[in-house]
Chains A and B, each alone.
Chain A
Amino acid sequence: MALNPTLLEVEQLSVSKRLNGVTFTHQRGELLGLIGANGAGKSTLLHAIAGLQESMGSIKINEHSINAIPPHERARTVGIQPQAVTSAWALTVADIVALGRMPWGDEDEAAIERAIERAGISEFRDRIIDQLSGGERARVWLARVLAGEPQLLLVDEPIASLDIHYQLAVMEVLKNYSRENNGVIVAIHDLSLAARFCDRLCLLDKGELIALGTPAEVLTEALLSRAYGIPVDIDLDRNPPVVLPR
């Protein structure tokens, strides 16, 4: 079966007081960055797409309305890694990654192995999650959601509080996953990394989508100072690109 290149269609999506009439589409193979100030509605948008948040408007995945897809089916197609996840119990890394197979109801060794490989965490697969550093944990959470091999991967600020080495590592993982014909949407605060890794960016401001396009189209001084309320320095011609508050 040939897969439709358009994976996600969001139309006039609203969540009371948090999102207002957001419309965009998302293609397979694309890494879409969700940017905007704190409280702009990035997490709300991701949660709504994953079906964790009641919303108005239409969300279609593979041309099917999200409301028409049974929860387990939806969970197989859309994987989300919410912000600031913690494990209540001292589970091993391997057990946490295996939890990613829950939507499928199996413990597919091959899929778990691929996820561990993709996230680059095989060296500490038998360790306890409590004993890992923040950067190591971030990749474990990522491996957990990758184990479900969702066609659409939503990740909420995976690199907040990581050092620059791990920031790059995590963004690489996301980029590579999108290149395997999957859709990846990532909420991200670091605009330089957003410019460097994302194919397109979606800029939210107070619940409204104010810009959508390539990094060069979205990361302009006018748009960013409107969204963040401060002047910014933008140099997208540099390699890697730099976007910093002035």
Chain B
Amino acid sequence: MARLITHYLTPLLIFFLLLIAWISLAYGSTSVGVFDGLSAWFNNEQTEAALIIGEIRLPRTLLALIVGAALGMSGAALQGLLRNPLAEPGLVGASQGAALGAATVFYYGVFAALGTLATAVAGLLGAIAALFFMLLLSGSGRPALVIMAGLAISTVAGAALAVVLNFAPNPYAMQELVFWLMGSVSNRGLDSLIILFPALIIGCALILSQRRLLAALSLGEPVAESMGFSVKKGSRITVLGAACLVGSSVSVAGAIGFIGLLVPHMLRPFVGHRPDKLLIPAALLGAILVCLADIAVRGMPLGRELKLGVLTSLIGAPFFVWLVWKERKKWL
């Protein structure tokens, strides 16, 4: 059975992704035919079905899929690059950096000339800066140092974020930002896809171009270097790719934690633990999980909305505890 899954992993994941996407389109308080709605929307008809499917559910579904794919892929890439199963966009400081960048734009109108792109660009820059400083601080790929450096950078970014909030001109800034940071893919509209989709393509392309390096790095930097790789250059490209993915998804959907941590772990046994073979399945499973979580969020009783990021954290945090426990047992 496990062997079968291993063999057909990518096709299986694609199948589930399409299935979940379909369910996401079909699921909601009003029952609408997905086909009818989609075709009506494509033909620019102003029917109720076209509006619900095309204007509400389609953007939300696509957003969930893209954000999930970005988080899954970046988690797999960062774990491979740092040779650390705990590396995750949230734990290495990238998410906080992106949040800081995006929040600065929100409240002070930096990069106003870029219009709707401004938050995404700022998020991207924030994520790059955070990852850059994290790598600078940790020096090498030593696992404990990476986590410590990530924690340090997250703390710095968190402090800076507090300063931004403290002096925000808008009195409701705190509440807005906290809600936004909880992560959600609702009410974002198709516009945000204009930013997210290219960022996904570019980020994935950058990371996939370095997949051989990730495989070589399994045996450490000297071995990879001796195989003819420029570890420094490859690391930069990978980090840039991951920052692209995390920065754009955080700036659009807020912080959706633990997907980047969880997904690679779930898949590793099925790809023989190979970091290079993990990347695409991680993107697919990330997309599936975020979309699934979003369906669950929509299924909650009406009233106060449970934020998507809160749900993924609720599920992800115990998993993280379990990982630490497992790691501890190795050392006892």
Instruction: Using CB atoms and an 8 Å cutoff, list the residues of chain A in contact with chain B.
Output: 47, 50-52, 70-76, 78-80, 82, 85-92, 95-96, 99, 102-103, 105, 144, 148
Known contacts A87-B218, A89-B275; is A82 also within 8 Å of B229 by CB?
no
Number of inter-chain CB pairs below 8 Å: 74
The 5 closest A-B pairs by CB, nearest first: A75-B228, A88-B83, A72-B228, A71-B228, A89-B273
Q: Do the beta carbons of A52 and B222 come within 8 Å of each other?
A: yes
Q: Which of B99-107, B179-187, B209-217, B300-308 contacts A (4 or more CB under 8 A)?
A: B209-217
Residue B223, interface by CB 8 Å = yes
Residue B220, interface by CB 8 Å = yes
Instruction: Using CB atoms and an 8 Å cutoff, list the residues of chain B in contact with chain A.
Output: 83-84, 212, 215-220, 222-223, 225-230, 268, 272-275
29 CB-based A-B contacts, threshold 8 Å: A47-B222, A70-B228, A71-B228, A72-B228, A74-B228, A76-B228, A78-B226, A79-B226, A80-B223, A82-B226, A85-B220, A85-B222, A85-B223, A86-B219, A88-B84, A88-B218, A89-B273, A89-B275, A91-B274, A95-B272, A96-B218, A99-B219, A99-B227, A102-B212, A102-B215, A103-B227, A103-B228, A105-B212, A148-B227
State the Cβ distance, B226 to closest chain A Cβ, in Å. Answer: 5
- Bound-complex Cα distance A90 to B226 (A): 21
Which of A50, A75, A144, A148 has the most chain B CB atoms inside 10 A of its CB? A75
Interface of chain B, main secondary structure: helix
- Bound-complex Cα distance A32 to B145 (A): 38
- Bound-complex Cα distance A73 to B228 (A): 8
Q: Do the beta carbons of B222 and A82 come within 8 Å of each other?
A: yes
State the Cβ distance, A217 to closest chain B Cβ, in Å. Answer: 31
Q: Do the beta carbons of B273 and A91 come within 8 Å of each other?
A: yes
Interfacial chain B residues near A89, Cβ < 8 Å: 83, 218, 268, 273-275
Closest to A70 in B: B228
Interfacial chain A residues near B222, Cβ < 8 Å: 47, 52, 80, 82, 85
- Bound-complex Cα distance A82 to B230 (A): 17
Q: Do the beta carbons of B272 and A92 come within 8 Å of each other?
A: yes
Interfacial chain B residues near A144, Cβ < 8 Å: 219
Interfacial chain A residues near B216, Cβ < 8 Å: 99, 102
Which of B84, B215, B226, B275 has the most chain A CB atoms inside 10 A of its CB? B226
State the Cβ distance, B242 to closest chain A Cβ, in Å. Answer: 17
Inter-chain pairs besides A85-B223, A99-B216, A102-B212, 14 sampled, C-beta below 8 Å: A47-B222, A51-B225, A52-B226, A72-B228, A73-B228, A82-B226, A85-B220, A85-B222, A88-B218, A92-B272, A95-B274, A96-B218, A99-B215, A103-B227
